[in-house]
A and B are shown apart, each in its own frame.
Chain A
Amino acid sequence: MIKEKKTIMRKIILFLLIAGLILNLVGCTQEAVVAGENEDLLETNWESILEEAEGTEVNFYGWGGSQMTNDWLDNFLALRLKEEYNITLNRVPMDIDQVLNKLLGENQMNVTGTADVIWINGENFSTARTNDLLYGPFTHKLPNFNQYIDVESVEVKYDFGFPVEGYEAPYGKAQFVLVYDEARVEQVPKGHEELMELVKNNAGKFTYPAPPDFTGSAFIRNIIYDIVGYEQFITMKADKEVIAKAIQPAMDYLNELKPYLWRNGETYPSTIAQLHNMYADHEVFMTMNYNSNEAAARIQTGEFPRTTNTFVFENGTIGNTHFLAIPDNAPNKAGALAVIDFILSVEAQASKYNPDNWGDLPVLDNARLSDSERAIFDEIQIGKGALPQHILLDHRVPEMPANFVPIIEEIWMENIL
């Protein structure tokens, strides 16, 4: 008798589970609206796009690993969008790899997605483009893009070597800087030759993290640029022999430098965190960073000595740009366009640049700003140990194509270790 009851129970549970699954599927099919109404959005004028965007919700998908970044989106951007366009911004923290997987899945089922704006760059952009996951080209529609962005700049045209073609709009910039202690470095090196001299005169006081550490790898690319220039790499084939030949002078340089490095170059710090630690402990007198404002923050927390400062080479240091894109299946493309346009405004870029809010470098072209607009940026206190953006922007060279990076790391390992 009891046994019978049990089997009945089981059948009921099974039935419920199946029913749940079926209902779920029905739910899915109901959501599958063809995104046809937005098709001619790019044909209409900006006013009607704003009209359509008014009062809607926009879902912003992107990396959420930094409290400062999240705070800027929640406290500044969301508030201002509400005031300006009555747009409600929902920030959804999700790594870009996951976002792409989500888009790929949705794309296969041909359904409308949930993401309106995505924060993207580099390899992920090329993956998204080659799989037709993005909406566009849309940047020519944005008034602020047309007014403030230098469309001819390599950094706007290419994202880690992949042509942008209007499918993503610049969001912010990062730049490689060298960090030094004024109390122990008398003369800042202007380039690789002076760096060599400085290191030779102060044996054991300088080193860089071994690749595949991200920052150490960027340092090596920067030395390559400083010695053989960056122009040739934009059109170079991703072939190991070709690259090896082109960067040979830089490898010779690093080999010459090696005996004067920390621990005679027999070993290197394995992470940038270790190098920062060694710098804070006075074991070395320089460190480096791909975030030009981080040293200033570390002075604030007392981690780095107060005499810390940053510098760039005269021929420039590597910078990269992060971008915003709109998925092809975004439910609210008009809203997405309005949001991205607002992010490109002087007000938003200046607020983002303020180290108290985020400290992310602006993407606007200085030459296109009016005097009063430029003054807004100049007035921002960037803190001790950080370089003002006009110095950074004047000494900035674009990243290499993403697929060069592992090849160069390999060549370094074979030549230097």
Chain B
Amino acid sequence: MKKTIKPYIMLLPAMTILLGIFVAGLSMAFLQSLGYFPTIGLQEFTLNYYKEVLTDHGFLTSLRFSLWIAFVSSSVSVVLGVLLAYSIVKSKHKKGLEEIVYKLPVIVPHVVATLLVYNILGQSGIIARMAYALGFISQQSEFPALLFDKNGFGIILAYVWKGTPFIAMVVYTVLSNMNNRLSEVALNLGATNKQVFWHVLIPLTMPSIFSSFIIIFAFSFGAYEVPFLIGPTAPRALPVQAYAEYMNADLRHRPYTMTINMVLTFISFLCIWIYHKTFKLLNKYNG
């Protein structure tokens, strides 16, 4: 009896903080999204906020916009990341430098990545200045508007710049630790490099590719700073929308904020669940 309880008791201090903050915050948010916020006199439970938010045109465009950004940026990152990892593994010469350089963007914060994208691709950015100096454009507005655009091009680019090395890092580790014999057998039996890549390496790395896809998808779906800084005023990404609602000085808006937050949380939990499932799949492969 004592033995079974002991690990839980040992975990208690850490868990109180982790779960205490997390669960308390989440339940408060949930209660408020149901319209229960006694501090400002809202006492009745109601699903009206959900009904209003989920049928609101602005919310739906924001949701679509956020999903679009997350999906496109994560997919592009995965393709580029896998290619990057594969080419590093394949390159013949010494790998010391490459192994460090490609990881650099992983440690750069998203805000800084946004600043880089802004400085390079903005209408007064480095490329625009070069184009101007070379006479391709005669004024700033002629340079294509890549940032603050309705398709979220700038946001996607910032996420790809951050996501690609992350995927490459995960895939590279898996690839370089993989047993070479399978590839060698395939090559021996007459498979081309391309066939080895598609039929041996990709299936073996698939679970880790997928789980890292989920990680960057969940992040770019829920993160606030990049779309706030280089996103369009409309449509707003969902986290930006939630923040704007939260900043509203009228406290009666709080339930709307929390409803948006609950939707964000729900989708993130869905991602965790898929992530969990893929890990099971991964274990099956290895076992």
Residues of A that sit less than 8 Å from B by CB: 123, 204, 210, 212, 263, 266-268, 270, 274, 278, 281-283, 402-403, 405-407, 409-410, 417
Known A-B contacts A212-B244, A406-B249; the reply to A204 vs B234 at CB < 8 A is: no
A204 CA / B124 CA spacing, docked (Å): 14
| Chain B: minimal CB distance from A304 (Å) | 15
**A268 and B233: CB pair below 8 A?**
yes
**A283 and B123: CB pair below 8 A?**
yes
B140 within 8 A of A: yes
**B247 and A204: CB pair below 8 A?**
no
Complex interface: chain B residues within 8 A of A402 (CB): 249
B98 within 8 A of A: no
A281 CA / B234 CA spacing, docked (Å): 24
A123 CA / B249 CA spacing, docked (Å): 10
Known A-B contacts A283-B124, A403-B249; the reply to A263 vs B140 at CB < 8 A is: no
**A282 and B124: CB pair below 8 A?**
yes
Of A123, A270, A409, A410, which contacts B229 at CB under 8 A? A270
**A406 and B248: CB pair below 8 A?**
yes
Contact flags (1/0) for B193-210 with A, using CB distance below 8 Å? 000000000000000000
Known A-B contacts A281-B124, A283-B123; the reply to A267 vs B249 at CB < 8 A is: no
20 more contacts with CB within 8 A, not counting A212-B244, A406-B253, A407-B250, are: A123-B249, A204-B141, A212-B247, A263-B145, A263-B148, A267-B148, A267-B150, A267-B232, A267-B233, A268-B233, A270-B228, A278-B124, A281-B124, A283-B124, A283-B140, A403-B249, A405-B249, A406-B250, A409-B248, A410-B248
- What 5 A-B pairs have minimum CB-CB distances, sorted nearest first? A281-B124, A267-B232, A267-B148, A417-B234, A268-B233
A263 CA / B149 CA spacing, docked (Å): 9
**B229 and A403: CB pair below 8 A?**
no
Known A-B contacts A267-B148, A270-B228, A283-B140; the reply to A212 vs B233 at CB < 8 A is: no
11 inter-chain pairs at a CB distance below 8 angstroms, sorted by A residue, are A123-B249, A263-B145, A267-B232, A278-B124, A283-B123, A283-B140, A402-B249, A403-B249, A406-B253, A409-B248, A410-B248
Measured as residues with beta carbon below 8 angstroms from the partner, the interface class of chain B is 20 to 34
Complex interface: chain A residues within 8 A of B228 (CB): 270
A407 CA / B248 CA spacing, docked (Å): 9
Complex interface: chain B residues within 8 A of A266 (CB): 150, 232
| Chain A: minimal CB distance from B257 (Å) | 13
Complex interface: chain B residues within 8 A of A263 (CB): 145, 148
**B140 and A212: CB pair below 8 A?**
no
Contact flags (1/0) for B131-145 with A, using CB distance below 8 Å? 000000000110001
Complex interface: chain B residues within 8 A of A405 (CB): 249
Complex interface: chain A residues within 8 A of B249 (CB): 123, 402-403, 405-406
A405 CA / B249 CA spacing, docked (Å): 8
A180 CA / B126 CA spacing, docked (Å): 25
